[in-house]
Structure 1
Amino acid sequence: MKNFFDCDYRGKINAKNKGDIDMYLVTRLKKCFSLDPAGLLPNEDFNQLYAAIQSGHS
């Protein structure tokens, strides 16, 4: 996920049956995968990579 999105570390949380895990807040798409300055709209590079991952050919 960190290859596609910019994230802010939020600290550790206790997850049921998992113990403490690291929590991150996704803030935007990485600039190289975004159509807009806010990082909300994926570009064609993202769409192609996502399609490859979904089809199992990453």
Structure 2
Amino acid sequence: MDPNDHSGDHYANASDDEVERIVAQGPNGAIAVAGVAAVVVLAIWIGFYFLVFLPRGVIH
């Protein structure tokens, strides 16, 4: 097992045109993951607000 042997490397055969086409599409997956993470954090915050902070009432 030679670590420098890239004969089975899937990306070794990608042409420059294919790479340019993929890069031109933009980071759609990363934006989707960030959006889902933001929605989850917001949902947790709203849940804590309504289920923990409001039921405790006003602190004097």
TM-score (norm 2): 0.24
Structure ranking higher in helix proportion: 2
* Bigger relative contact order (CA 8 A; separation at least 6): 1
Structure ranking higher in strand proportion: 1
The higher radius of gyration belongs to 2
